[in-house]
Amino acid sequence: MRICVAGAYGAFGMKHLDALSAIDEVEVTSVMGPSKDKIESFAAERGIGHAATTLDECLARDDVDAVILATPTQIHAEQAIACMKAGKPVLIEIPMADSLADSEAICKVQKETGVLAMAGQVRRFNPSHQWIHNKITAGELKIQQMDVQTYFFRRTNTNAKGEARSWTDHLLWHHACHTVDLFQYQTGGQAKEAFGLEGPHHPELGIAMDMAIGMKAEDGAICTLSLSFNNDGPFGTFFRYICDNGTYIANYDDLFDGNMNKIDLSDVAVSNNGIELIDREFISAIQEGREPNSSVHDVLSAMQTLDKIEKSFG
């Protein structure tokens, strides 16, 4: 499998490159980035044969079988559609778009072309959340409440590496997207109720810096989600699963019980790296000619819920 990574030297482009290097019979043959000098230097350092500043140039190559988009959210829909129309399966880093309309456009083109398109909902693949999902599927756990905190300290427009960003991130359409999709995935359907509250908007960035979201599943389970770009302290996302048979705390790829005893996840998946696991699913689905877990159609309900939450803001 020969892969193009677009947005290669960004924070998550590099995470995907590192993940792909751990997967047998996969080669990154092309990378794309906005700066000619920077992307060419980056490709040379990594031993990658082709570098370009436009996705079209990468899509025209015979040595590109599939594409991973780790580019700015605002161009995900346009680029994903270009990949599918070029016949190249595409994995879109979360979120697949920052509006319901763009998400629906991606799904429409996927149906028209039949080319595989997957949304990068990595929480489905983190071993911690997989462990919970397996217990739910086996009938051993039922969620009563998910309490989630997503906290950063980003009062300037910077990325996960602390570098200046050319586009604006969003608490709802990016960071809440993780939890909205995960809550629906773990409870087995679209939230029947969803609402949100916004704090003040940043005077320069134009986005809410604090947010609270509530959801309720068909089976009565609820989710409370707090998000902030103002948190001056440990950052990341912390999940507390309050269940009928225990309480569990997940932090990315680690899982603890309610008394902070670590749970062994070594038998959950072939890796403890969620990015690697989502890339493995993408590649396997292409090779096996099947719908991937986290296909764009499967994730569309999360985008519908995000749209409903956005419309609830006063």
**Tens digit of each residue's pLDDT (9 = 90 or more) over 105-150:** 999 999 999 999 999 999 999 999 999 999 999 999 999 999 999 9
Q: How many domains does the chain have?
A: 2
- CATH number of residue 39's parent domain: 3.40.50.720
Rounded mean pLDDT, 147-162: 75
> Are 202 and 90 in the same domain?
no
> Are 147 and 215 in the same domain?
yes
> Are 21 and 83 in the same domain?
yes
What is the chain's mean pLDDT, rounded? 94
Span 185-203, pLDDT tens digits: 999 999 999 999 999 998 8
Tell me, what's the pLDDT at 162? 60
Span 273-287, pLDDT tens digits: 999 999 999 999 999
> Are 198 and 281 in the same domain?
no
> Are 172 and 306 in the same domain?
yes
> Are 173 and 78 in the same domain?
no
Tell me, what's the pLDDT at 250? 96
Rounded mean pLDDT, 44-70: 97
> Are 198 and 107 in the same domain?
no
Count CB neighbours of 301 within 10 A. Answer: 16
Domain containing 160: what range?
123-269+301-312
Tell me, what's the pLDDT at 314? 72
Rounded mean pLDDT, 95-107: 97
Span 164-181, pLDDT tens digits: 655 557 899 999 999 999
Tell me, what's the pLDDT at 234? 81
> Are 151 and 227 in the same domain?
yes
Tell me, what's the pLDDT at 166? 56
Q: What percent of the chain lies above the pLDDT cut of 70?
A: 95
Tell me, what's the pLDDT at 158? 60
> Are 181 and 108 in the same domain?
no
Degrees, nearest 5: CA angle 172-217-215: 30
One-letter amino acid at 6 equals A
Tell me, what's the pLDDT at 104? 98
Confidence of residue 235 (pLDDT cuts 50, 70, 90): confident
Q: Dihedral (C-alpha) 53, 54, 55, 60: value to the nearest 10 degrees?
A: -110
> Are 194 and 50 in the same domain?
no
Tell me, what's the pLDDT at 258? 96
Rounded mean pLDDT, 268-277: 95
One-letter amino acid at 236 equals G
Rounded mean pLDDT, 60-74: 96
- CATH number of residue 216's parent domain: 3.30.360.10
Rounded mean pLDDT, 245-271: 95
Tell me, what's the pLDDT at 153? 81
> Are 43 and 146 in the same domain?
no
| Residue partners of 151: CB distance under 8 A and separation at least 6 | 226, 227, 228, 231, 233, 234, 235, 236, 237, 238
Q: Which helix (H) or strand (E) holds 285?
A: helix 274-288
> Are 207 and 80 in the same domain?
no
The answer to whether the beta carbons of residues 275 and 15 sit under 8 Å apart is yes
